Amino acid sequence: MTDAKTQIEETNKANDVVLYMKGTKEMPQCGFSSRVAGVLNFMGVEFADVNVLADEAIRQGIKDFSDWPTVPQLYVKGEFIGGCDIVTEMTLSGELDTLFEENGVGYDKEAADKIREANA
């Protein structure tokens, strides 16, 4: 059995985009997780979802790993991006588009533009 840090490292290495969240991308269990998963789903981003409610070691481990006290947490190419507020800001500013483009992550540009139009 691997420890939480090793499990997190392996998950981040195996997937371009990972969202550590409460619940799953199909059934989020908190509003913040729902918002980030909703943005990624709407933008057509393929991502791995890790339900921290299913494993207490991962729930605490991801907070220790990133030195960030809350969930959800988004990782792109193994790099910690941020939580709900940061992902929301990056989506609205276009920074998330740039991040995905620079890292070769596929997403729907029109969907991203629609999010910005709806929040203008």
Asked if residue 84 belongs to a known ligand binding site, the reply is no
Q: How confident is the model at residue 2 (pLDDT cuts 50, 70, 90)?
A: low
Domain ranges of the chain: 4-118
Class of domain 4-118: alpha beta
Query: What is the mean predicted confidence (pLDDT) over 90-105?
Result: 97
The tens digit of pLDDT for each residue in 39-89 reads 999 999 999 999 999 999 999 999 999 999 999 999 999 999 999 999 999
Q: What is the pLDDT of residue 1?
A: 44
pTM here? 0.95
- The interaxial angle of helices 4-14 and 56-66, nearest 10 deg, is 70
Distance CA 109, CA 53 (A): 32
Per the prediction, the chain carries an average pLDDT of: 96
